[in-house]
Amino acid sequence: MSEISPLFKKPTYPINNFLFDYLERFDRISKVAIAYDDLLRFSGSVNVYDKNDNDTLWARVFYNEYERNEIDLTLKKIYSLLHSDGNLDIIKFLNVDAIDYCTFGNSKPFRIKVRNVLNDNYVHFYIKKADASRIYGLELEHILSPDKINFLVYGDTLIEEHIIGIPGDVFMETALQNCSEHEKAQIAKEFVKFNERCMIRLLGDMRAYNYVIVPIHDFDQVVYKIRAIDFDQQCYEGNFKIYRPQFFKENFPMIQLIKEKLQDSSIEQYKNEERAALAKRILSAETRIQKILRIMANDTIAPEAHIKQLKMELYRYTNDLNFKNATSMGYLLSAAFKYVTRNFKHPDLFKPGF
């Protein structure tokens, strides 16, 4: 298995007017004014450590009293938009326990912890600089994955819900060895499906720390699901391997698990199952998919060199001329969706132009 060299830092792409109109049409625009840059005006910070005293690389930030009161109220309103459709009656029961800042990665997010004072339950959400690539990734995740996801946009600020689960790298280090043989086989199956899903929808950079393992208790067994949590690399890189989690060295334990637990025929079966499930989701959300693909096709979310490289690699992989003739990342994604849905004898999903 050849490994992928580290990725260069990806630039941030602005949200164009067509994408803003789409987000407004599907209720993704925040009714509460909030700016990422406002949160950067913190007056101090301390490092955050986990329960084993390891540095988490997050910093807990502090604001002066006047700014903190205003920020807290805004964050409570954001919470109510994400979780109760803007019902302000719940604000009096909420407390912003912590605002943490992370300096690694592309998005440099703020992580907000909001607690319900009545029962001590809490949730997290993130405030980030808005990036068109990431928004396309989040929207496609919402439409095409087995799970839904909430996010809001206000100007150049992105509000994104926390996705619950065990980070893949942590799971492989601390929990995988304790799984039963049946559970390991089930995890191997899920990784095959996850790998196929990321490849088809061109979601890149799914290293072990960019997805989570979600254990679900079902009668007398635990079922494991895999969810992406980072969407910065939606339709950006030119190297096709970036969109296939199997090629990242961080995922090597999963690849070993697949080799040990699954036969080639089972791997092909699970790939086919995932393609069929994805095709059904594409067809069931045809109108919404058409809208987002048209906007992507006319948007700039990757360098021209990346588009040229990726379209030729996809063409060599599939022998499908739709890839070779594509002129943007949006067209490439459309070609991928048409390739998957072709067996369903459905008319072309994508009609160019607005």
Distance from chain centroid for Cα 299: 19
Reported as a pLDDT band with limits 50, 70 and 90, residue 36 is very high
CA 127, CA 110: separation in Å to the nearest integer?
A: 5
Q: What is the mean pLDDT of residues 43-65?
A: 90
Q: State residue 146's pLDDT score.
A: 82
For residue 235, give the nearest of 264, 267, 266, 204 by alpha carbon: 204
Q: State residue 107's pLDDT score.
A: 79
| 35 has pLDDT over 80 | yes
**Mean per-residue pLDDT over the chain, rounded:** 91
Q: State residue 347's pLDDT score.
A: 44
Q: What is the mean pLDDT of residues 38-51?
A: 92
Residue 144 near residue 278 (C-beta atoms within 8 A) = yes
Q: State residue 350's pLDDT score.
A: 47
For residue 191, give the nearest of 260, 266, 254, 261 by alpha carbon: 254
| 62 has pLDDT over 70 | yes
β-strands 211-218, 166-167 pairing: antiparallel
The amino acid at 111: R
pLDDT digits (tens, 9 = 90+) for 184-243: 999 999 999 999 999 999 999 999 999 999 999 988 889 999 999 999 999 999 999 999
Its pTM stands at: 0.91
pLDDT digits (tens, 9 = 90+) for 84-110: 877 888 899 999 999 999 987 677 899
| 349 has pLDDT over 60 | no
329-341 vs 304-318: helix axis angle to the nearest 10? 20
The amino acid at 237: E
DSSP reduced 3-state for 295? helix
Q: What is the DSSP string of 73-126?
A: HHHHHHHHHHHHTT-GGGGGGEEEEEEEEE-SSSS--EEEEEEETTT--EEEEE
Q: What is the DSSP string of 16-83?
A: PHHHHHHHHHTT-B-SS---HHHHT--SEEEEEE-TTS-EEEEEEEE--HHHHHHHHHHHHHHHHHHH
pLDDT digits (tens, 9 = 90+) for 277-329: 999 999 999 999 999 999 999 999 999 999 999 999 999 999 999 999 999 99
| 273 has pLDDT over 70 | yes
Q: State residue 147's pLDDT score.
A: 84
CA 228, CA 198: separation in Å to the nearest integer?
A: 9
249 Cβ contact list (under 8 Å, min separation 6): 3, 4
pLDDT digits (tens, 9 = 90+) for 132-165: 999 999 999 999 988 889 999 999 999 999 999 9
> What are the phi and psi torsion angles at 187 (to 5°)?
-65, -40
Q: What is the mean pLDDT of residues 123-127?
A: 96
β-strands 122-129, 151-154 pairing: unpaired
